[in-house]
A and B are shown apart, each in its own frame.
Chain A
C-alpha cells in the first residue's frame, strides 16, 4: 500500500477527515474556550525563542475559527512536544493537543508533510519500525551493527502482510 492512503485526503479518507474535524471542534469548544490568554504556555515554550512558536496565539486563532490560516502555517510544525504548556496551563487548556490535531488535519488535507516524517512512515509500513538496523561508529572509529554486539534479533512484526492489513484499516475504516 502507499503512504498516500494515510496522509492525504482521498475520497476513502472522508471519514477520517470528519473525525479530525470532530476532534478539533471538541478541542475548540471544550478546551480552548477556557483560555484567558495569560500566555504562560508561550513564556515557557521550548520552541518559542528558537522558532517563534506562540501556543497562546494558536489557541486564540483557533477560537476565532481561523483554521485555514493555522493548518497552512509552518509554525505548527515547530512544537517540540515537551508538554510544558499542557502541564502548567492554569485553565487546563492543552495547546500541544491542539497542535497535534492541527498537524493531523494539515496532513489529511494534503499539505506537504515536512522533513523525514514521510520516510519514517514508509519504513513503519514496510518493516514496522521507523528505521532498520543502523551501522554506528565507536569512539575509536570502528563501525558496528547490532549483530556484532551479541544482541538478540530485532523484535519487529513477524507477518508484514498482516501488519499492513491492520494499518490499512485506519485508512479505510468507515466510522
Chain B
C-alpha cells in the first residue's frame, strides 16, 4: 500500500485569497492513498522544506504531492527536498493551483472546487509514479561562443581565463562587432577602439581560444555537456599562415576604393582584397568572392594584381570552404543585432538625400579611422555643416515598425551631440528632436545635463517628415514644451534607427532549438531569474541577440553567461534527467517513425534487434516520439498513458 503526503502552499495570499486552503487540505487528507495532508504559508521556504522532510519521516511517506505554483517555478526545489527526506525525487507530483487556479479565477468557492479536482488527479498520478534514477554523462570541458562582438569576446575571455578551451565563431572576417565601429562610448567618452582592441588582441593570443573568423555554424547536435557542432569555414582566398597583413594585395587590387565598405556603413570604399578595419583581428586580409574580378569572372586583367603583389605568396584562389567539427559542453549565443534600415520610414528622407544619415554612419564620420579621418563633412558637398539635427526613435516605440525602445538611442545621440560640439565648435546649430529622453544608467543623467549645457536645441516631439529642399533639409517640429511649431532648416539630419533582431534570427533559433520572444529576439528562460539561460539546457545568450542593450549591460550579461556555462563545464559528469522516452522492446516493430520525428536525433534503429532505441544523452523528453509511435511502444517515463488517463479519470 502506497503512502502519499499532500502539502498545500498558501503562497502568501497568492493562492490563499482565492482558494480555501484549509478546506482543500482537509479534502486531500481523505483521498485514497493519502496518509497525511498539511498546509503552510510558504512551502518553498526553509521552514516549509523542514515541514515536508519531517512529515516524510513521521508518516513514512513514499510519495508526495505539492499543491503550489507552476512546476516551472519549484519542481526542482521540491524534488531536492523529497530526496533529502528520503523519498525518490521522481515520486514528487506538483499540482499547479496558482497559475492554473487562484490567479485565473476570482470566485473563491469555485476555485476551491477546481483545486480539489487538480489535487485529486495529482494524487492519482503520484500513486503510480515510478522511482527513477538519473543517468550520468561525461562533460566536454570546452565551450562554443557564437558571435565575436563585445559580448562574444567577453564571454570567451572569461571562460578561457577560467581554464576552459573556447571556440569562438565569427561570421565576418574580423571580430569586434558593432563596438569596433564606434568612436567613443557614453557616458565616459572612452575611446571605443582603445578599450576594445586590447580585448580583441587577447582573444587572438589566448592559448585557450580557437578563433574561427569568417565562419558559420552549420549544425548543432547533442545536448548539455556534449554538443557536436559543425562549422563552415568560408574561404578567405588568403593563406592566413602566410599573410603578414602588409596590405600589398589591397593596394594593388584593381577594384581598390570601388566597393562600398560595410565597416564604414557605406560612408567609405574598399577593394575586393581588403582588411575590414585597421585593428581587425585576425589581422589577415580577405578577398571578397562576390566582387573579386578573378573569382566572379575568372579573369582579372592579365593576372590578379594581388597575387602578383604578395611577397609571401599568400593569395590562394583555389581555397575551398571547409566543414569542421568541434565537440563542446556548453554554448553561448552572442549574435548581436541589426540596425533597422531607416529607408522603411521613407518620409524621413534617408533614401532621398545623402545628408540624411544614421547614428552609426555619423560614428564613422566622427572616427579618426573613418572615411573623412574624423572630419565632420556634409555628404552632399563635403563642407562643414552649419546645422545638424538629430531625430530620435526612428522606428523605435513605433507600433508600425519596432514597438520596443532601443535603449541606446537617446544616449548615443547625446554623446554624438557632445562630440559634434567638440569638433564643429560653438557656431554650429545642433537640434535634437526627442520623444522622451531616457538616461537611465549610471552617469547617464549627469551626461544629459552636460549636453543640455552645450547650447543644444532640444525639441520634444516627433517630426512628421524630413523634406529635402534644394540646398538644405526642412523639418517641421511641433515642440510640446513650448506648444509651438518650429520650422528647422538644417544641413544634416542624423536618424537614430531602431535596433532589430538579426534578420536570420528565426532561422538560427531553429538550428539551436531556441525560442524567440514576440519581438523576434532570443527568449531568456526567465526575464528576472534566469536572464542568460535559454530553454535549452547548456545554451546561454548574451548581448543584443536577447534584447537591445548598451555596452555596459552587454558585457555584464556576457560575463554572466560565461559564469553560467562554467557551472556545467566545471563538472566532470552531469546527471541526465530520467524523465525521457524509453522503448517497450516487446511491442516495438522497428518501423522507424520515431527516428524521423525526433527533433534531437536521439533515436536510432538497432538493426540486429529490429527495434528503435533512445540515446539517453540526447533525448530531451519532448514527447514527439510518444505521439508518433503507431504501436504504443514509445513510453515517456512517468508520463505513461495509464498515468495520464488515471489523472483524467479523476478530474472527470
> Which residues of A line the B interface, CB within 8 A?
34, 36-45, 48-49, 54, 56, 84, 88, 90-92
Q: How far is the CA of A44 from the CA of B483 in the complex (A)?
A: 14
Residue of A84, A91, A92 near B464 (CB, 8 A) is: A84
Q: How far is the CA of A92 from the CA of B476 in the complex (A)?
A: 21
B401 to chain A, nearest CB (A): 8
Q: How far is the CA of A131 from the CA of B465 in the complex (A)?
A: 37
Q: Which residues of A contact B436 (CB under 8 A)?
A: 36
Q: Which chain B residues in 445-466 approach chain A with CB under 8 Å?
A: 461-465
A43-B476, A56-B480 known; A38-B399 Cβ under 8 A: no
Q: How far is the CA of A144 from the CA of B478 in the complex (A)?
A: 47
Which 7 residue pairs across A and B have the least CB separation, nearest first?
A: A44-B464, A40-B462, A90-B398, A42-B478, A38-B462, A43-B464, A39-B461
Q: Is B397 a contact partner of A39 (Cβ separation < 8 A)?
A: no
Q: Which residues of A contact B477 (CB under 8 A)?
A: 43
**Cross-chain pairs A/B with CB under 8 angstroms, 16 sampled:** A36-B397, A36-B435, A36-B436, A39-B478, A40-B462, A40-B463, A43-B463, A43-B478, A43-B485, A88-B347, A88-B464, A90-B398, A90-B399, A90-B401, A90-B462, A92-B399
Chain B, interface SS category: loop
Answer yes or no: B581 CB below 8 A from chain A CBs.
no
Answer yes or no: B381 CB below 8 A from chain A CBs.
no
Q: Which residues of A contact B435 (CB under 8 A)?
A: 36, 38
Residue of B398, B399, B462 near A39 (CB, 8 A) is: B462
Q: How far is the CA of A44 from the CA of B478 in the complex (A)?
A: 8
Q: Which residues of A contact B401 (CB under 8 A)?
A: 90
Q: Which chain B residues in 100-122 approach chain A with CB under 8 Å?
A: none
Q: How far is the CA of A45 from the CA of B485 in the complex (A)?
A: 11
Q: Is A90 a contact partner of B480 (Cβ separation < 8 A)?
A: no
Other A-B pairs beyond A36-B436, A42-B485, 19, CB < 8 Å: A36-B397, A39-B462, A39-B480, A40-B461, A40-B463, A40-B464, A42-B461, A42-B478, A43-B461, A44-B463, A48-B478, A54-B478, A56-B478, A56-B480, A84-B464, A88-B347, A88-B465, A90-B462, A92-B400
Q: How far is the CA of A109 from the CA of B649 in the complex (A)?
A: 62
B468 to chain A, nearest CB (A): 16
Q: How far is the CA of A125 from the CA of B399 in the complex (A)?
A: 42
Q: Considering only CB atoms, which chain B residue lies closest to A60 in the complex?
A: B480
Q: Which residues of A contact B398 (CB under 8 A)?
A: 90-91
A81 to chain B, nearest CB (A): 16
Q: Which residues of A contact B414 (CB under 8 A)?
A: none
Q: How far is the CA of A43 from the CA of B347 in the complex (A)?
A: 13
Which one of A40, A49, A88, A91 has the greatest number of beta carbons of chain B within 10 Å? A40
Q: How far is the CA of A43 from the CA of B433 in the complex (A)?
A: 11
Q: Which residues of B contact A36 (CB under 8 A)?
A: 397, 435-436
Q: Which residues of B contact A40 (CB under 8 A)?
A: 461-464
Q: Which chain B residues in 528-545 approach chain A with CB under 8 Å?
A: none
Q: Considering only CB atoms, which chain A residue lies closest to B402 in the complex?
A: A90
B337 to chain A, nearest CB (A): 20
Answer yes or no: B393 CB below 8 A from chain A CBs.
yes
B400 to chain A, nearest CB (A): 7
Q: Considering only CB atoms, which chain B residue lies closest to A55 in the complex?
A: B478
Q: Is A43 a contact partner of B399 (Cβ separation < 8 A)?
A: no
Q: Is A49 a contact partner of B485 (Cβ separation < 8 A)?
A: yes
A142 to chain B, nearest CB (A): 42
Q: Which chain B residues in 399-418 approach chain A with CB under 8 Å?
A: 399-401
Q: Is B397 a contact partner of A90 (Cβ separation < 8 A)?
A: yes
Q: Which residues of B contact A90 (CB under 8 A)?
A: 393, 397-401, 462
B390 to chain A, nearest CB (A): 15
Q: Which residues of A contact B462 (CB under 8 A)?
A: 38-40, 43, 90
B410 to chain A, nearest CB (A): 14
B490 to chain A, nearest CB (A): 15
Q: Considering only CB atoms, which chain A residue lies closest to B464 in the complex?
A: A44
Q: Considering only CB atoms, which chain A residue lies closest to B479 in the complex?
A: A39
Q: How far is the CA of A49 from the CA of B474 in the complex (A)?
A: 15
Q: Is B476 a contact partner of A44 (Cβ separation < 8 A)?
A: yes
Q: How far is the CA of A37 from the CA of B81 in the complex (A)?
A: 53
Q: Which residues of A contact B483 (CB under 8 A)?
A: 54
Q: How far is the CA of A45 from the CA of B461 in the complex (A)?
A: 13
Q: Which residues of A contact B397 (CB under 8 A)?
A: 36, 90
Q: Is B465 a contact partner of A44 (Cβ separation < 8 A)?
A: yes
Which one of B347, B400, B478 has the greatest number of beta carbons of chain A within 10 Å? B478
Q: Which residues of B contact A43 (CB under 8 A)?
A: 461-464, 476-478, 485
Q: Is B480 a contact partner of A37 (Cβ separation < 8 A)?
A: yes
Q: Is B461 a contact partner of A91 (Cβ separation < 8 A)?
A: no
Q: How far is the CA of A49 from the CA of B478 in the complex (A)?
A: 10
Q: How far is the CA of A39 from the CA of B398 in the complex (A)?
A: 13
Q: Considering only CB atoms, which chain A residue lies closest to B345 in the complex?
A: A88
Q: Which residues of A contact B465 (CB under 8 A)?
A: 44, 88
A64 to chain B, nearest CB (A): 15
Q: Is A38 a contact partner of B461 (Cβ separation < 8 A)?
A: yes
Q: Considering only CB atoms, which chain B residue lies closest to A84 in the complex?
A: B464
Q: How far is the CA of A43 from the CA of B462 in the complex (A)?
A: 7
A48 to chain B, nearest CB (A): 6
Q: How far is the CA of A91 from the CA of B476 in the complex (A)?
A: 20
Q: How far is the CA of A91 from the CA of B393 in the complex (A)?
A: 12
Q: Which residues of B contact A84 (CB under 8 A)?
A: 464
Q: How far is the CA of A33 from the CA of B31 in the complex (A)?
A: 51
B358 to chain A, nearest CB (A): 18
Which one of B393, B397, B436, B464 has the greatest number of beta carbons of chain A within 10 Å? B464
Q: How far is the CA of A91 from the CA of B397 in the complex (A)?
A: 8
Q: How far is the CA of A84 from the CA of B435 in the complex (A)?
A: 19
Q: Which residues of A contact B399 (CB under 8 A)?
A: 34, 90-92
